[in-house]
Amino acid sequence: MRIEATDLADVLLLIPEPFRDDRGLFTRTFDAAEFDAHLGEPGAAARFVQDSQSRSHRGVVRGMHGRCGRGEAKLVRCAHGAVHDVLVDIRPGSPTFGRQQAFLLDDNDFRHLYVPPGFLHGFQALSAVADVCYRIDRPHDPAEDLGVAYDDPELAIDWPQPVTLVSARDAGAGSWRELLAALHLTPRS
């Protein structure tokens, strides 16, 4: 498994190296020792306490979600199909505050993301069916949920396909400016 930095501060792309033959393939999707060594934090991988999975159909957007307080770190991968995965940095002191980056996560390359606390996260299903797996470092507390509308004009996320469906919660999410005001932050110019 290779681990690479991304354009967003502290976000890592984990790239398994599948062995392929006539039977199909085998890959290790995560290696705690390599992850800990890359972070320089023994035991970092052991902090992940919850695994979740979602299934979405082509065009569905889930997001943009985040958490206030201590936030949450997560590992995100697409176990089946493909998704256009988007992160937005909402950490006030970060050099990439307010910036976004998109990643293709799929069941061909098995790339997945390490997302530290302090990011909005969302994705769009690009395949007929897409299963996304999340490994999270804290139990979910709905009282800490944050959200920004997937179609917020200031974020201007470029979803690659027409959006076919979003949840009522995501459709009713606030704006980028409302999130900044709630967090007592101002946008960068």
Q: Where are the domains of the chain?
A: 50-182
Rounded distance, CA 149 to CA 161, Å? 17
| Residue of 38, 84, 121, 134 with catalytic role | 134
Active site residue 134: yes
Give CA separation, 89 vs 4, 93, 144, in Å: 18, 10, 17
Query: Band of the pLDDT at 188, cuts 50, 70, 90?
Result: low
| Residue of 65, 80, 112, 114 with catalytic role | 65
pLDDT digits (tens, 9 = 90+) for 40-99: 999 988 999 998 999 999 999 999 999 998 899 999 999 999 999 999 999 989 999 999
| 60 Cβ neighbours under 8 A, 6+ residues apart | 124, 125, 163, 164, 165, 166
pLDDT of residue 24: 87
CATH of 50-182, one of 2.60.120.10, 3.40.1000.10, 3.40.1520.20, 3.40.30.10: 2.60.120.10
Q: What residues does 89 pair with on adjacent strands?
A: 119
pLDDT digits (tens, 9 = 90+) for 18-48: 888 898 888 888 888 999 999 999 998 899 9
Other Cβ atoms less than 10 A from the Cβ of 121: the count is: 20
Active site residue 184: no
